[in-house]
């Protein structure tokens, strides 16, 4: 499945990019929320998300790169988030925040940064719908894929098979048509792509090319 990251979309004509996702029948819209604190960049907040929600019926895959995300879960649920992914080191009581997200009936994801180990899954995996393997350091679009992510995806797949086979693996950062195949072969279910889709002349064609590569 494909989850285009609108961080790289054209915000002077955002409807055009949503029309492209609608016509290509994208599986998700990946929405990167940055607070200038957890990551060295600022994007946008829940009021923008609720406006964008009016442009599509595609599920919103909301990636929170913010400190203390527990304070904003309700806002993002009300804004229309269908999946909410948090970073373990952004919240003091991870189990409590995971349960808070679940209490709203939305899916919950946990993001793992490039230098972080998978140990955090030991006591969280049963509760997760999604594991987001970061294949770049979070904060910016257009960075290069970090190779060691492939091994991490394979290891995550093993843990999932053993402990929670319904949990999905999403991979975020530096995904292009040229490396998508090896990321899928390693075990990814959902690919996030920002610049590889919205940096091109026809985002619709690029989404379709990713879908063809996945045979869907
Ligand atoms: C990075 C974000 C990504 C970013 C990906 O912190 O989480 O979702 O938009 O952009 P590309 O696909 O250009 O690497
Ligand atoms: Zn992201």
C-beta separation of 114 from 136 below 8 A? yes
pTM of the model: 0.98
Question: Alpha-carbon distance 167 to 67, whole Å?
Answer: 25
- Distances in Å between the Cα of 111 and the Cα atoms of 36, 101, 121, 212 are 18, 14, 10, 27
What digits encode the pLDDT tens for the residues 93-107? Answer: 999 999 999 999 999
CB 187 within 8 A of CB 153: yes
d(CA 105, CA 103): 5
pLDDT digits (tens, 9 = 90+) for 22-55: 999 999 999 999 999 999 999 999 999 999 999 9
> What is the rounded average pLDDT for all residues in the chain?
98
The reply to whether ligand 1 has any atom less than 6 angstroms from the CB of 109 is no
| Residue 93 in marked binding region | no
Cα(63) to ligand 2 centroid in Å equals 5
Q: pLDDT at residue 80 above 90?
A: yes
> If you measure from the C-alpha of residue 42 to the centroid of ligand 2, how many angstroms do you get, rounded to a whole number?
13
Q: Is 172 a catalytic residue?
A: yes
Averaged pLDDT for residues 67-78: 98
Closest CA to 20 of 48, 52, 56, 59: 56
Q: What are 105-122's pLDDT values in tens digits?
A: 999 999 999 999 999 999
**Which pLDDT value is given to residue 188?**
98
User: What burial letters (b/e) apply to 158-167, b meaning 16+ CB within 10 Å?
Assistant: ebbeeebeeb
Where does the pLDDT of residue 216 fall: very low under 50, low under 70, confident under 90, or very high at 90 and above? confident
What's the mean pLDDT in 5-34?
98
Q: How far apart, in whole angstroms, are the C-alpha atoms of residue 145 and residue 140?
A: 12
- The number of residues making up the chain comes to 216
pLDDT score of 179 more than 90: yes
């Amino acid at each position: 499945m494909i989850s285009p990251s609108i961080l790289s979309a054209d915000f002077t004509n955002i409807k055009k990019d949503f029309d492209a996702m609608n016509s290509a029948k994208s599986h998700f819209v990946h929405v990167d929320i940055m607070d200038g604190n957890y990551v060295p960049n600022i994007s946008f907040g829940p009021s923008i998300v609720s406006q964008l929600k009016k442009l599509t019926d595609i599920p919103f895959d909301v990636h929170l790169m913010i400190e203390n995300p527990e304070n904003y879960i309700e806002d993002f649920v009300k804004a229309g988030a269908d999946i909410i992914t948090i970073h373990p080191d952004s919240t003091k009581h991870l189990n409590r925040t995971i349960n808070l997200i679940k209490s709203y009936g939305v899916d919950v994801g946990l993001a793992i940064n490039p230098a972080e180990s998978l140990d955090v899954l030991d006591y969280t995996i049963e509760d997760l719908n999604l594991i987001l393997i970061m294949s770049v350091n979070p904060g910016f679009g257009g960075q290069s894929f970090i190779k060691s992510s492939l091994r991490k995806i394979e290891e995550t797949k093993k843990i999932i098979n053993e402990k929670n086979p319904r949990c999905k693996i999403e991979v975020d950062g530096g995904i292009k048509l040229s490396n998508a195949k090896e990321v899928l072969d390693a075990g990814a279910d959902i690919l996030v792509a920002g610049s590889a889709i919205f940096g091109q002349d026809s985002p619709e064609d690029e989404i379709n090319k990713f879908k063809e590569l996945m045979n869907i």
